[in-house]
Chain A
Amino acid sequence: MKIPFSYIARNLWTRRLTTALTAGGLALVVFVFATVLMLDEGLKKTLVTTGEYDNVVMIRRAAETEVQSGVERPQAAIAASHPVIALNHEGVPMVSRETVVLIALNKRGTDKPANVVIRGVSPMGLELRPQVKLVAGRMFRPGSSEIIAGNNITKRFAGAGIGEALRFGQREWTVVGVFDAGNSGFDSEIWGDADQLMQAFRRVAFSSVIVRLDNSDHFDSFKKNIEGDQRLTLEAKREQTFYADQSKALSTFIGILGMTLSIIFSIGAMIGAMITMYASVANRVTEIGTLRALGFKRRAILTAFLMESLLLAAVGGVAGLFFASFMQFLSFSTVNFQSFSELAFGFTLNPEIAAKSLAFALVMGFVGGFLPAVRAARMKIVDSLRAA
């Protein structure tokens, strides 16, 4: 014999102010919890979509990022002549020798500089990355001081809009195009001609060599060949792995910070739920006695009060998630600890995160409501009827 659900819901409705305050506290905790998960997911998504699965990035051994790496021209030539590299429709090997440096640019409207990745690519660089599309202007002409800027850079940095110019390496570089890389890490980069940029920065070595494999299965043998070659000091990684590795430090940091906060906050919210439920029990001693006298079992009473607490938590959880879903309109930019450069990413909500957040809310409701429900179930019928 179960106590009807309408009785449970109406109890919450009767104490509207208390219910709203408790659910509000729970909603805030769920909001923080969901936001952190969304941020971490956004970061991972940005960096994973940056890489193509069949592309391989080669950088100098022990360098962790392209900025720290150096690949001498002879080594780049050996790596680029490997037989498993795919050919494009014109029969040209799909290889891009790239140079990556950081330049300090000021954000629009402030004098605060941030480090921006500027990548020198060969003409094949765009073909290797199908997600990169020009959305305004045109491609830079090889051999000229022209650059194209990623979506996020154009929006946020002074001098990076179309027709504007940036000055570095004793030259003026004109921005002739804006590209969109589908919310990947490339959106936070500026691209130009590799040879021109190397000249300007007085560099003799590339930073990395990117190749497309003709067949995904060849990766292991390719890696073994490159890393075992006595003439080379390179290591090879799938492009996806390469970028995912670069998000590790930041992702760990966001994760630890977020979980710590969520746990601390949830203690506060659970205490709130507990206070509410204890009061709810204390106020209804006579009701509980009456229900027991009518023949409802202890278990039914326990279930009813637990349900009440879970319902309260569910209301808070849904509200928190509702507000968290609006965070998707915002983007978040910070320095990536590992590459030391600015990276913009968004908040990504997916069903898994929604489920986790609601489960988190229900756990809080359960923990907060368990002791009060036990107290309600253990009341003696006679005493509770006398209490009034």
Chain B
Amino acid sequence: MHILKLIIKNALRHKLRTSLTVLGLVVATLSFGLLQTVVGAWYAGADAASNTRLVTRNAISLVFPLPLSYENRIRGIDGVTGIAYANWFGGIYQDPKNFFPQFAISGKSYLDLFPEFVVPEAERSAFLRDRKGCLVGRKLATQYGFKPGDIIPIKGTIFPGQWEFVVRGIYDGKEASTDTSQLFFHWQYLNERMLQTAPRRGNQVGFYMVQIGNPDNAAAISRALDAQFENSLAETLTETEKAFQLGFVSMSEAIVVAIRVVSFVVIVIIMAVMANTMAMSVRERLAEYATLKALGFGPGFLAALIFGESLLISLAGAALGIALLFPVAAAFSAQMGTLFPVFKIAPQTLALQAASAVAVGLIAAIAPTVRSARINIVEGLRSIG
């Protein structure tokens, strides 16, 4: 009990130094947590993927379409319980920097395949009835103030021309991890215009979403599906939705790795600051340690004092940093808008923050402890800090 009192008193001896160190730890813990959350946001699409959905696309690459006629052939494969299709539209709303995903979807079948997009019944049927209608996600609607009845003008890049969609409903996510930053409109509407303006590009589908009954058969069904279209003009590549999403992540893997590395660099920086603080404290107290030793306290007691103080400071900083992470992450997410559709703090992140704080506290105390243990009593009493 006495030792705890002593540790706290020691930590408060240099109020300015201790508070600066704690502040540094707060900044480090906070930025570490934020960076980990950013990395997590990168994987959000893959985490939210269902294991009973497959994605079928053109084997050459995503920029090549598949014929509409594949729909019935895929439906006939054993184990397939549902199918929908969509096209990536990639248009521009007002300015290229207002990026958000737009998909031309196969109406009801697509919505049935994605139960995580929750639309009120009335809005859903309004969307299905209106060929020029569209559904927008909650996050997207909040960012640009879209309301049902609004007209969203979008400039086509892949599908040339000016397009207008009427907002017929706003969907919410069933889970916190559901991406609600997308716009869905009717593939029929897109197809009609393509048939008029560029007939060769009509009746083409960007990718098929295939629902399967049993996730254990995903590999077998994917193989059977791709075998159907082997050596045709449009060969297919089928993989689980998760693998498909991870494919996107792996494209920018270098950036993710860099963020990860950097988030650990910040821990190393703060370790240097913390070690420095402890080294100074110990250097100033050499005379005291010598006195304690002369009184008969062993090196274990000194070690407990130093480690205790180091851990106390690092954990205080980490606790503040973790507490601040929540409001900062919320503000960051609001600032980033649809760039990070899903931005939530994972429990692992908090555990990592706490663990790194403990590690910083322990490592920072090692060198000073060794030094205090080595003091020769006479030398120490001579020392003047």
Contacts and interface: CB of A to CB of B under 8 A. Distances in A.
Q: Do A and B bind each other?
A: yes
Interface of A: 17-18, 21-22, 24-25, 28-29, 32, 60-64, 67-68, 101-104, 112-115, 168-170, 201-202, 204, 233, 249, 257, 261, 264-265, 267-269, 271-272, 274-276, 278-279, 283, 332-335, 340, 342
Contacts of A201: 60, 64
Interface residues of B, number: 51
A275 to B, nearest CB: 5
B252 interface: yes
A272 B272 contact: yes
B231 A104 contact: no
Contact of A204 (B17, B200, B269): B200
B251 A335 contact: yes
Given A102-B61, A102-B63, A104-B60, A113 B269 contact: no
Contacts, number: 139
Interface of B: 16-17, 20-21, 23-24, 27-28, 31, 35, 59-64, 90, 96, 155-158, 160, 200, 231, 233, 237, 247, 250-255, 259, 262, 265-266, 268-270, 272-273, 275-277, 279-280, 284, 367, 385
Given A62-B160, A67-B63, A201-B64, A271 B250 contact: no
Main secondary structure of the interface of B (DSSP, over half): helix
Given A61-B160, A275-B21, A342 B251 contact: yes
Contacts of A279: 17, 280
Contacts of A64: 96, 157
B20 A271 contact: yes
A102 B62 contact: yes
11 contacts: A25-B272, A28-B265, A29-B269, A68-B90, A265-B269, A268-B269, A269-B269, A269-B273, A278-B20, A283-B284, A335-B251
Contacts of A204: 200
Given A115-B61, A202-B233, A340-B63, A268 B275 contact: no
Given A25-B273, A62-B157, A334-B251, A103 B16 contact: no
Pairs of residues from A and B, 8 with the lowest C-beta to C-beta distance, nearest first: A335-B251, A272-B273, A271-B24, A25-B272, A21-B276, A104-B61, A264-B31, A334-B254
Nearest to A104: B61
B27 A21 contact: no
B100 to A, nearest CB: 13
Contacts of A257: 259
Nearest to B90: A68
Nearest to A114: B251
